[in-house]
Chains A and B, each alone.
Chain A
Amino acid sequence: NAGVTQTPKFQVLKTGQSMTLQCAQDMNHEYMSWYRQDPGMGLRLIHYSVGAGITDQGEVPNGYNVSRSTTEDFPLRLLSAAPSQTSVYFCASSEGSTPYNEQFFGPGTRLTVL
């Protein structure tokens, strides 16, 4: 049982490049989400999904796309990277979307956009 895994751990991009951050979980969790963590700002929700085929926007969705074709995977796409997207990105999953369901976090992807 690997929990929540994220790849890559580190990535450097040039402005305008695109890439996909991968997130997978092996706990059969329905709810998955992406956060970004910036100094002095805590974690902010980018996108979330309550199940395969269903996604919705969080607090800071601009510049990011997501899809949820399977229960296990929830990739985050940067269409045209900008320096403002330099951040640490965390994926999380939980059995459901209620407060009674603990969210499990992945180890994070540290992204730098030059």
Chain B
Amino acid sequence: AQSVTQLDSQVPVFEEAPVELRCNYSSSVSVYLFWYVQYPNQGLQLLLKYLSGSTLVKGINGFEAEFNKSQTSFHLRKPSVHISDTAEYFCAVRGGLTGTASKLTFGTGTRLQVTL
């Protein structure tokens, strides 16, 4: 079984400040990790994903995340946020390629609130 923990339900930050959204996972098999963003009244959009290779993954809108196997973490970062980054962010994990482990398991979400 796999699970995801997003430690912060809300993160307030001023515009142009850096931000880190934390995500920890557990899985008994190989992991594939994802960050999704949900803008108000919209569906989820993929920000970035880690499947293999380099542990530093770059995504859309200037976001990046680092896969840390020893700490079982996949934290999302952005060096300078914009008002338009205000949204809900979900970390998700898939524990395998096929079968039940291949399903996406989501964290509870982190609400990023960017203010002037």
Contacts and interface: CB of A to CB of B under 8 A. Distances in A.
B104 A103 contact: yes
Nearest to A40: B108
A74 interface: no
A98 B102 contact: yes
Given A40-B108, A42-B90, A43-B90, A105 B44 contact: yes
Interface residues of B, number: 23
A90 B44 contact: yes
Interface in B40-72: 41-46, 49, 51
A108 B44 CA distance: 9
B51 A100 contact: yes
Contact of B109 (A42, A44, A48, A102): A42
Interface of B: 4, 9, 32, 34, 41-46, 49, 51, 90, 94, 97-98, 102-104, 106-109
Interface residues of A, number: 23
A58 B9 CA distance: 25
B42 A107 contact: yes
